Amino acid sequence: MAWKTLDDMDLSGKTVLVRVDINVPVENGRVTDTTRIDRIVPTIRDILAAGGLPVMLAHFGRPKGQFVPEMSLRVTVPALEKALGREITFIERPDAAIIAALPEGSVALVENTRFAAGEEANDPAMAQFLASLGDIYCNDAFSAAHRAHASTEGVAHLLPSCAGRLMQAELSALEAALSAPERPVGAVVGGAKVSTKIALLENLVGRLDLLVIGGGMANTFLAAQGAKLGASLQEPDYMDTARAIMVQAEKSGCRVLLPSDGLVARAFEAGADHEVVALGPDTVLDDDQMVLDAGPDSVKAVAAAFEDLKTLIWNGPMGAFEIPPFDQATNAAAADAAARTRAGTLISVAGGGDTVAALNQAGVSEDFTYISTAGGAFLEWMEGKTLPGVAALG
């Protein structure tokens, strides 16, 4: 690994600027999901244990360089204090003198970095100002690492820098899944549209042994082969792209697995009447029929394909998982991957988009090897792009 971790730094007596992602959901003035807060706890505790003083930098919402009261990070303080079991000093206007006066064992949180116009512009002056507040920079916000902002990239070049525990876990998991995986390696790529995942698919087919395509995007691939899928979600403008990806996969030796059957309904609603229909190049559905999930034969084929894998990457659901019974394929395939992971025969890494929600709904999140809470950063890594916040740690 080219990046340093907290273990490589002398933290004793040092002020450590920690970029975290606590952009959490809030209702009626309280945090409703503390997942992102819980995940930064190991980093803060390790800095304290090593004698450092953690000063957290974070964004909240999209205030676009202006002070927006409802986007103040102050709302996260009670949840942070509960998670860390200690008082948090909230610093509305960051100042080196205020930070220097904090007693040993303190933890501080600086107000929303995006209230400053220089943050998203990656203004060198803002990066310099942030650097003046601390001795060491620690990035623990992988989910913001695809943004070249002052607090994610600029300041990293001005101080001794390292990855926090969450960033370290994310990077290690992604390296294991894609950069140097145990083979055979496969991926489940689902979701609504091919158009949002072209770069991902193009990068993966050259690296994988198996690619399972599900969700609405599978309809576009089936339609590209000649299927007439009625009112199913599909993207006619991307059929050539789908065909090109199939050709690229064949050249690379990557097997592409599309649904061979599907749950077809005439209404997009929970509990809608449906039937199982065989899917292939010759399929012709009525104009009002929709493929909303993969069928039982497809689920069996996916399970059989998983048997040979050592590593699995998962991004996106295999059907309209939000509305039963069209969650069946996602739930079944996820349960199969989870069982193999528990048995120690599969390394499973998931993340991005609706993936976390789908796996939580399937009740298997605890069983995957690693689940990333990052959205865009996870996808861009999988697309083979350089993430500025990670590159700056090198």
Residues acting as catalytic residues: 36, 193, 353, 376
Measuring CA to CA, which residue among 192, 228, 172, 211 is closest to residue 313? 211
CA distance 48 to 308: 44
Residue 313 dihedral angles phi and psi, to the nearest 5°:
-110, 135
- How far apart are the C-alpha atoms of 216 and 124, rounded to whole Å? 43
Rounded Cα distance, 367 and 380, in Å? 25
Give the bridge partners for 277, in sequence order.
262
The secondary structure element, H or E, covering residue 55 is: strand 53-57
Gap between the Cα atoms of 23 and 143, Å rounded: 10
Residues 289 and 273: their CA atoms lie apart, in Å, by 11
- For residue 242, give both structure tokens: 């789908």
The first and second tokens of residue 297, run together, are 């034969």
Angstrom distance (rounded) from CA 358 to CA 347? 19
